[in-house]
C-alpha cells in the first residue's frame, strides 16, 4: 500500500503533464480562429520566452555561454520557430489527431541523423521501426475522414506536420551539440537553453509574421487569445515543467515513452470538441507509427529532459 501511495502522486502528475501537452493542438485550433499560424506561433513563443526569462532571472542562473554556443542556440531557435510555424499551420489542413501523431515522429529523424551523418550502425530494431513508420504514413496519407478547417488539402497538412517533426529533430541535434557535449565547455542547464532558444525563436517568428502581414487577433476575439495563452501557460509551463519534475521519480526512458500518450489524448479531445472521427485505417496507421516511435525511443534511450526544451511542444 505504501509503494502504491508513493507512486500514485508522481504518476498522476506525469499523466496531468501529458494531458496538458496533448491539449496543445486543441488550444492551437482555437488560436487559429483569430490569427494566422505565423502570428499564433510568434505570440505563443513570445509569451513562453518572457516566462522562461523571468524564471532564469529569479533563480539568478543567467551565465555567459560564449559567442559560438550562442550562435548555435540561435540556429536552434530558428529550427524551433520552423517547428511551431509548420505544425500549427498543419492544423488548418488536417485533423488534430493526425497532426499531433506526425509531429511526434521527431525521434525517428534524430535516429536517422545518427545513422546517416554520424555513421552509427543501425540496429535491426531501428530498421524495423522505419518500416513500421513507412507503413503507417502510407496508411494515413491514403485515408482522411476527419474534417479540417480548410478542406481538400489533407496531404499538405500531413507534410507540414512532418516538417514540424523534422525541424524539432534539428533543434534537438543542435542543442545536443551546443549545450551538452563537454568539449563545448560546461554543460548548459535546461533553463539556460530554453530561455535562449525561445527568445531566438520568438524573434524569428515575429519578423516572419510581420513580413507575411499576419497580425495578432483582435482584442475582442477571446477564444483566439485564450488558445494562445493556454498554449503558453498550460501546455508549456505546466505540461513540460511537469515532465521535467517527473524525472525525479521515473527513469528518463519511462518519461520519454509517456509522450506516446499525446496523440491519443489529442484524438479524444478533438473527437469530443470538434467531432473528429477516425477510420480503422487511420487508427491502424497511427498504431504503427506509435510503435515505431516507441521502438526508436527504447533503442536510443532518448531523454525527455532534453526533449522538453522544445516541443509541443
> Mean pLDDT of all residues in the chain?
82
- What is the structure's pLDDT at 186? 57
Least confident range of 106-120, 134-148, 194-208: 134-148
Query: Residue 29 falls within a domain, yes or no?
Result: yes
Structural contact between residues 97 and 267, judged by C-beta atoms closer than 8 angstroms:
yes
Specify the number of domains making up the chain: 1
Query: Residue 12 falls within a domain, yes or no?
Result: no
The pLDDT confidence band at residue 307, using thresholds 50, 70 and 90, is very low
Query: Residue 312 falls within a domain, yes or no?
Result: no
- What is the structure's pLDDT at 182? 40
Check whether 306 has a pLDDT greater than 50: no
Query: Residue 170 falls within a domain, yes or no?
Result: yes
Q: How far is CA 91 from CA 38, 98, 198, 231, in A?
A: 12, 9, 22, 14
- What is the structure's pLDDT at 63? 62
What SS3 class is residue 68? helix
Contacts of 59 (CB under 8 A, 6+ apart): 191
Check whether 302 has a pLDDT greater than 60: no
Check whether 159 has a pLDDT greater than 90: yes
Query: Residue 300 falls within a domain, yes or no?
Result: yes
Check whether 157 has a pLDDT greater than 80: yes
Write the pLDDT tens digit of every residue in 1-12.
Answer: 444 445 457 778
Structural contact between residues 14 and 255, judged by C-beta atoms closer than 8 angstroms:
yes
User: Phi-psi bin for 185: left (phi > 0), alpha (psi -120 to 50), beta?
Assistant: left
Query: What average pLDDT score do residues 244-273 get?
Result: 78
By the 10 Å C-beta count (0-12 exposed, 13-18 middle, 19+ buried), 294 is classed as middle
Check whether 308 has a pLDDT greater than 60: no
- What is the structure's pLDDT at 23? 93
Element (DSSP H or E) covering residue 58: helix 37-59
The set of cell numbers assigned to 163 is 516538417
The pLDDT confidence band at residue 313, using thresholds 50, 70 and 90, is very low
The pLDDT confidence band at residue 312, using thresholds 50, 70 and 90, is very low
Q: How far is CA 291 from CA 130, 167, 278, 294, in A?
A: 10, 21, 18, 5
CA atoms of 268 and 260, how far apart (whole Å):
14
The pLDDT confidence band at residue 146, using thresholds 50, 70 and 90, is low
* Boundaries of domain holding 198: 17-307
- Going by C-alpha positions, the residue among 97, 221, 89 that lies closest to residue 150 is 89
By the 10 Å C-beta count (0-12 exposed, 13-18 middle, 19+ buried), 122 is classed as middle
Contacts of 93 (CB under 8 A, 6+ apart): 148, 149, 150, 153, 154, 156, 157, 160
- What is the structure's pLDDT at 247? 62
Query: Residue 99 falls within a domain, yes or no?
Result: yes
- What is the structure's pLDDT at 13? 80
Query: Residue 289 falls within a domain, yes or no?
Result: yes
- What is the structure's pLDDT at 297? 77
Write the pLDDT tens digit of every residue in 27-83.
Answer: 999 999 999 999 999 999 999 889 888 887 877 665 667 788 888 889 999 999 999
The pLDDT confidence band at residue 301, using thresholds 50, 70 and 90, is low
- Going by C-alpha positions, the residue among 247, 197, 205 that lies closest to residue 86 is 205
- What is the structure's pLDDT at 81? 96
Query: Residue 4 falls within a domain, yes or no?
Result: no
- Going by C-alpha positions, the residue among 313, 101, 105 that lies closest to residue 197 is 313
Write the pLDDT tens digit of every residue in 203-242.
Answer: 999 999 999 999 999 999 999 999 999 999 998 878 877 7
Query: What average pLDDT score do residues 269-289 get?
Result: 86
- Going by C-alpha positions, the residue among 136, 149, 158, 162 that lies closest to residue 283 is 136
Check whether 311 has a pLDDT greater than 50: no
Query: What average pLDDT score do residues 274-281 get?
Result: 83
- What is the structure's pLDDT at 6? 52
Amino acid at each position: 500500500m505504501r509503494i502504491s501511495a508513493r507512486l500514485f502522486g508522481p504518476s498522476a502528475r506525469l499523466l496531468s503533464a501529458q494531458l496538458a501537452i496533448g491539449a496543445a493542438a486543441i488550444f492551437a485550433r482555437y488560436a487559429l480562429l483569430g490569427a494566422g499560424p505565423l502570428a499564433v506561433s510568434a505570440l505563443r513563443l513570445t509569451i513562453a520566452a518572457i516566462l522562461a526569462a523571468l524564471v532564469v532571472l529569479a533563480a539568478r542562473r543567467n551565465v555567459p555561454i560564449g559567442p559560438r554556443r550562442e550562435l548555435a542556440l540561435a540556429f536552434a531557435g530558428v529550427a524551433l520557430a520552423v517547428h511551431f510555424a509548420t505544425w500549427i499551420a498543419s492544423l488548418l489542413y488536417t485533423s488534430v489527431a493526425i497532426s499531433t501523431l506526425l509531429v511526434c515522429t521527431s525521434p525517428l529523424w534524430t535516429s536517422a541523423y545518427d545513422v546517416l551523418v554520424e555513421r552509427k550502425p543501425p540496429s535491426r530494431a531501428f530498421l524495423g521501426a522505419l518500416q513500421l513508420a513507412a507503413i503507417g504514413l502510407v496508411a494515413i496519407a491514403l485515408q482522411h475522414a476527419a474534417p479540417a478547417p480548410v478542406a481538400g488539402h489533407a496531404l499538405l497538412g500531413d507534410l507540414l506536420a512532418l516538417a514540424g517533426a523534422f525541424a524539432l529533430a534539428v533543434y534537438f541535434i543542435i542543442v545536443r551539440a551546443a549545450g551538452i557535449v563537454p568539449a563545448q565547455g560546461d554543460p548548459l542547464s535546461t533553463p539556460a537553453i530554453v530561455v535562449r532558444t525561445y527568445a531566438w525563436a520568438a524573434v524569428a517568428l515575429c519578423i516572419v509574421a510581420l513580413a507575411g502581414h499576419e497580425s495578432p487577433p483582435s482584442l475582442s476575439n477571446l477564444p483566439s487569445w485564450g488558445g494562445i495563452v493556454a498554449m503558453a501557460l498550460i501546455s508549456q509551463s505546466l505540461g513540460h515543467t511537469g515532465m521535467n519534475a517527473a524525472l525525479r521519480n521515473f527513469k528518463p526512458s519511462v518519461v520519454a515513452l509517456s509522450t506516446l500518450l499525446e496523440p491519443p489524448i489529442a484524438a479524444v479531445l478533438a473527437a469530443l470538441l470538434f467531432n473528429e472521427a477516425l477510420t480503422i485505417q487511420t487508427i491502424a496507421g497511427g498504431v504503427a507509427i506509435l510503435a515505431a516511435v516507441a521502438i526508436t525511443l527504447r533503442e536510443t534511450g532518448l531523454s525527455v529532459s532534453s526533449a522538453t526544451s522544445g516541443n509541443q511542444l
